[in-house]
Amino acid sequence: MIEFIHPADDSETRLTAHLPAEIDTVALGAALARALQPGLKIWLRGNLGSGKTTFTRGVLRGLGHAAKVKSPTYTLIEPYSVSRLNLYHFDFYRFNSPDEYLDAGLDEYFAGDGVCLVEWPDKAVPYLPAPDLEIVLQPEANGRRADITGQTDAGQKCLIELAKALRGANPAPVSE
């Protein structure tokens, strides 16, 4: 089930999706792929095992990347050049201090027009730039729940496009 809320005053655009199984997490990522624009910065929050890498695999599948998607837990970053976009997948779980973000020279990725998807972004605050979209994944009785908020104009536009993509795939459950 998908709930989409887009207030008239653009205060906070929010989409909630209930994801009963892994394939639903992948499908939501693939739907987001259709709504991506260059330069979007996306934070993926949620505890260990909540589905952040699974969701990113869905985004990459949606962009046409058929090969393996590795978790960047040890490498910090996995870069992809796929269809019309550069996509950078980060995982900062292993940072002992946010200074490691600067030491690794990762800032330049966020200054460019690649799409950045970041697991464990809180580990790089305050140096990490603010996100356009924030996605919070959490377990629920039946699978996972994803709460997505648009934090900038670009993020809100992306979320509206995502809602359209989901409505096309599954007309009934979207409410505004």
* Residue numbers at the binding site for Mg ion (CB under 5 A): 52-53, 71, 119
Provide the minimum distance between the beta carbon of 106 and ligand ATP in the complex, in angstroms, as a whole number. Answer: 17
What does 21 bind: ligand ATP, Mg ion, none (CB cut-off 5 to 8 Å by kind)? ligand ATP
Q: Quick one: tokens of 80?
A: 């992809």
- Kindly tell me which of 71 and 86 has the beta carbon lying closer to Mg ion: 71
CB of 127 to ligand ATP, least distance (A): 20
Amino acid, single-letter form, for residue 50:
S
54 binds, among ligand ATP, Mg ion, none (CB under 5 to 8 A by kind): ligand ATP
DSSP string, 101-134: HHHTTTHHHHHSSSEEEEESGGGGTTTSPPPSEE
Asked if 130 and 150 touch (Cβ cutoff 8 Å), the reply is no
Which partner from the list ligand ATP, Mg ion, none does 22 bind, CB cut-off 5 to 8 Å by kind? ligand ATP
C-beta of 72 vs 114, nearer to ligand ATP? 72
Neighbour count for residue 141 (Cβ, 10 Å): 7
Token code pair at residue 23:
């394939």
Give the residues lining the site for ligand ATP (CB under 6 A): 19, 21-22, 24-25, 46, 48-54, 71, 93, 119, 143-144
Residue nearest to Mg ion (CB): 53
**CB of 53 vs ligand ATP, minimal distance in Å:** 3
- Binding partner of 50, given ligand ATP, Mg ion, none, CB within 5-8 angstroms per partner class: ligand ATP
- CB of 145 vs ligand ATP, minimal distance in Å: 9
The SS3 call for residue 155 is helix
In our burial notation (b when 16+ CB lie closer than 10 A, e otherwise), range 58-93 reads bbbbbbebeeebebbeeebebebebeebbbbbbbbe
